[in-house]
Each structure stands twice: as C-alpha cells, then as structure tokens.
Amino acid sequence: MSDAPTTVTDARRRVTELVRDARICLLTTTSVDGRLVSRPMALQDTEFDGDLWFFTYADSAKVRQIRVNPEVNVGFSDQRRHAWVSVAGTAQEGWDAARAERLWSPLLRPWFPDGPDTSGLTLIKVHAGSAEYWDAPGGAAVNLLGARAAVTGRPPRARANHEVSY
C-alpha cells in the first residue's frame, strides 16, 4: 500500500490490517478519580468492522470505569512492521452468550478456566469513533533511515500517519 490511502475505505482497510496483525493492545480507561489507566488486553479474532471485542470479568476495575466513563482508547503496536494504531471510541460491557461462543479461543483458558461458562465473565465492546495510525512501510528501510538520521542529525521521513473516522 502506498504512503497515502486513496480513499477512506483504503485507510479503514489499513487500520483493520494493522489491528489484526498486532492483536495485543493497551486498553485505556479513565479511573473514577480522573487518572488514565492502561492495561494489556488480547483482541478477539474477528473482522474489525469498527468494533473491538474483549473478554474480562464483570467485577473488574476496567468495567467499573467504563460504566462511569465509556470513552476509551485502544493502542496497538506491531514492532515487526513498525506500525502503530490508536483507536478512540466508546466502550460498553455486556454478556452475549452466542457472541462469546463465536469469539472464544482456547488461548483464553488460563484467564478464564471454564471457557465461556466461567462465572463472572463478560464482554467489552469498543465502538470506534476514530483511528489514527502510523505506518512505516519496509521495516528494514526504516531501521536504515533511523541509523542514517543518527549520523546526519536529520530526522527520517519514512512514517505515514493517517486519521480515519468511523
């Protein structure tokens, strides 16, 4: 893909690719005293259509924080591809047994030992309002440019940065 997406659809497609490849993210909520709190979360394997899905416990601090202030940020980093995505959106918590069955992965069992039947299990859905991504096509080229920048003192111009609305 070129540095500049040609359409909103292309930009959204790129966000989807980057999110899917990164898989682990930081979910940032606002605590009841106003502090921003981030924690690692595993994105569930689903086609990103503007919604991100996570399993958690209903009595967790993040769920309490979302109930008070549903505005969240989800940050992804894919170091292999030198790409980053920030998704700003609105979160909501709720249990949907059929969706949980569709989203369930055996990799979640260490955290939720009884699978989708784990007591107190719930889902968080983050509906994206906007996303911003930084993409460095050609990771080796970026590393080379970074080394060159260190020698010359001039910053490299290799990253593409785009904003997308949903």
**CA–CA distance, 109 with 92 (Å, rounded to integer):** 23
Predicted local confidence at residue 160, as pLDDT: 76
Q: Where are the domains of the chain?
A: 8-165
pLDDT of residue 133 exceeding 90:
yes
Of the candidate ranges 16-30, 75-89, 108-122, 149-163, the one whose mean pLDDT is the lowest:
149-163
- For residue range 66-104, what is the model confidence (pLDDT) as tens digits? 999 999 999 999 888 889 999 999 999 999 999 999 999
pTM of the model: 0.82
Among candidate residues 61, 83, 71, the one with its CA nearest the CA of residue 132: 83
pLDDT of residue 146 exceeding 50:
no
CATH of region 8-165, choose from 1.10.287.70, 1.20.1640.10, 2.30.110.10, 3.40.50.2300 = 2.30.110.10
Predicted local confidence at residue 46, as pLDDT: 74
Among candidate residues 160, 95, 86, the one with its CA nearest the CA of residue 129: 86
- For residue range 24-63, what is the model confidence (pLDDT) as tens digits? 999 999 999 999 999 999 999 777 888 999 999 999 999 9
Q: Virtual CA dihedral for 92, 97, 102, 105, nearest 10 degrees?
A: 90
Token pair recorded at residue 27: 């979910």
Predicted local confidence at residue 94, as pLDDT: 96
